[in-house]
Structure 1
Amino acid sequence: MRAPLDPDLFDAVCPSDLTPIRFGDKWAGMVIRCLEGGPRRFSELRVPLRGITAKTLTHALRALERDGLVQRSDERLYALTPLGRSLLGPMDQACAWAREHWEELLDAREAGTAAVVS
């Protein structure tokens, strides 16, 4: 049996929100990360994805299925396909890049927010 997903898998100030590199929509990369350790049920995915609605998660999963990255089994488990699993390496590289440039990204975000408010 798989260990449950960590409810704190995604920190509120996670680089995934900060990095300009996106894999699909806002949630796709995080869904892929949740499935990295093996198949999961819809309800399991909602634990670490605290800000997502059921409708939005359904939309994200369907888009990932349509793109061939995720498959849904008869047992209603979602799993990465080999194509989806092939994204894990590039995602690791993007996360490493975001960690390396964390301070620059934060400074740019703050400067951009200040400019919009002015």
Structure 2
Amino acid sequence: MSIMQKINKLDRRYIYLLAWAFVLFPLLNPLGLPIPISQDARTWYDYVENEINDGDVVLLAPMYGVSGMPELFPMTVATMKHLLTKDVKIVVVSFWTEGPLVFNTLLTQVDPADYGYVYGED
């Protein structure tokens, strides 16, 4: 009997149990690998921190749609949070048809009122 025939005869509950074990083990015992911060991220942080002054008007333009959100949205959230810690006016524009959806999703993740901003005024 070949290995494939033996696997086919296994009760599928054992296969699911094995799959669950492979999923749960890393979740319960993380490796704890360090997450490096790239030079581009440091440069962007330093730019926002040092080059944007209180009272400046910042144009935030998330030029992507829903398909780009998994890659780009976390950076947009981080940038928005960083900008909200400064005393700047934030103007958000997008020329994509899904821009309002991205912005509304951003507002559900980051509430400007938590930073003392009033929508439409600041």
What is the TM-score with the length of structure 2 in the denominator? 0.29
Q: Larger helix proportion, structure 1 or 2?
A: 2
Q: Which has the larger radius of gyration?
A: 2
What is the TM-score with the length of structure 1 in the denominator? 0.30
